[in-house]
């Protein structure tokens, strides 16, 4: 599970700022584009977009409603002019709708129902099984990349110990965890402060001595506010 957390938190999300980071151009309905700074290099953006590498000379990504995200090697003024704008585009450091302080509910209907009495997990070999996965708001071309990042979790053996002393903080130490019930926890991790960033939320519930259920949602801002929600069962095999 720690591997899953690292994939979601690093491969999908914002990376530390480097020189010559990619620029994000968001096409506006009234013409022109808004420029957002990206906290990823072109090579890292290629990972997010599912490409092997960025095209030669590419310095930005154009996000246009209803169309696949695409690379561009044009200057900011040229990109703005391409969509009917004049001069350099307005730079929007962080749009209000992508404010990481705004809560994003993973379960609008509530968390897992608490089972009441404390459940003691049986020690043994545990494996992960993806039971459901959905994406929304992702530019075309990114959905397969987002889903594919965690596909190898399905049926794989969970590394590390799961036993009577289990807490999700042992698997996800980088998350901030709140215990929400006798057998339930909610955790959160935010990476990036502008441009492309992410907010990862997870709820974990012990359902029986041999079953842990988890839902994890990743919201990637700056690329259409792409969201990926994955439901996973952790099952003791023997």
| Distance (Å) of CA 41 to CA 44, 120, 130, 187 | 5, 45, 31, 28
Task: Give pLDDT, residue 89.
Answer: 93
User: Could you tell me if 107 and 79 lie in one domain?
Assistant: no
pLDDT above 90: residue 75: yes
pLDDT for residue 80: 96
Residue that finishes a domain, picked among 93, 112, 147: 93
Mean pLDDT over 66-92 rounds to 90
The verdict on residue 73 lying in a domain is yes
Q: Which of 47, 76, 93 is the last residue of a domain?
A: 93
Output the average pLDDT for the chain: 74
In terms of domains, do 155 and 37 share one? Answer: no
pLDDT at 61 over 60: yes
Domain edge (last residue) among 65, 93, 121:
93
Identify whether residues 205 and 103 lie together within a single domain: yes
Percent of the chain surpassing pLDDT 70: 66
Judgement on whether residues 48 and 138 belong to the same structural domain of the protein? no
Neighbouring CB atoms inside 10 A of 236's CB total 19
Are both 153 and 186 inside the same structural domain? yes
Same domain, 126 and 58: no
Whether residue 17 lies inside any domain: the answer is no
The more confident residue out of 56 and 199 is 56
Residues 215 and 136 in one domain: yes
Tell whether the model's pLDDT for residue 34 goes beyond 60. yes
Rounded mean pLDDT, 194-206: 75
Going edge to edge, which strands form the sheet with 126-136?
Answer: 126-136, 226-236, 211-221, 197-208, 184-191, 176-179
pTM above 0.85, yes or no: no
64 and 33 share one domain: yes
Q: Are residues 204 and 117 in the same domain?
A: yes
Instruction: Work out how many domains the chain is built from and give that number.
Output: 2
In-domain check, residue 18: no
Q: Are residues 105 and 6 in the same domain?
A: yes
Domain of residue 128, residue span: 2-11+99-236
Q: Are residues 111 and 212 in the same domain?
A: yes
Same domain, 86 and 116: no
């Amino acid at each position: 599970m720690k591997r899953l957390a690292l994939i979601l938190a690093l491969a999908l999300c914002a990376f530390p700022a480097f020189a010559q980071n990619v620029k994000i151009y968001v096409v506006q309905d009234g013409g022109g584009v808004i420029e957002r700074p990206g906290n990823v290099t072109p090579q890292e953006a290629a990972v997010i977009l599912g490409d092997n590498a960025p095209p030669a000379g590419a310095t930005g990504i154009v996000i246009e409603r209803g169309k696949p995200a695409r690379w561009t090697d044009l200057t900011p003024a040229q990109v703005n002019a391409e969509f009917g704008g004049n001069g350099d585009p307005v730079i929007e450091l962080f749009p209000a709708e992508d404010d990481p302080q705004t809560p994003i509910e993973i379960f609008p209907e509530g968390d897992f129902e608490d089972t009441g009495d404390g459940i003691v997990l049986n020690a043994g070999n545990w494996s992960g099984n993806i039971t459901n996965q959905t994406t929304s708001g992702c530019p075309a071309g990114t959905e397969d990349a987002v889903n594919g990042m965690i596909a190898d979790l399905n049926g794989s053996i969970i590394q590390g110990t799961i036993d009577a002393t289990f807490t999700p903080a042992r698997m996800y130490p980088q998350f901030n965890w709140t215990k929400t019930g006798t057998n339930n926890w909610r955790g959160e991790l935010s990476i990036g402060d502008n441009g492309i960033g992410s907010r990862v939320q997870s709820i974990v519930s012990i359902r029986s001595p041999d079953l842990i259920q988890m839902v994890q949602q990743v919201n990637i801002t700056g690329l259409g506010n792409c969201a990926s929600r994955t439901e996973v069962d952790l099952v003791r095999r023997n």
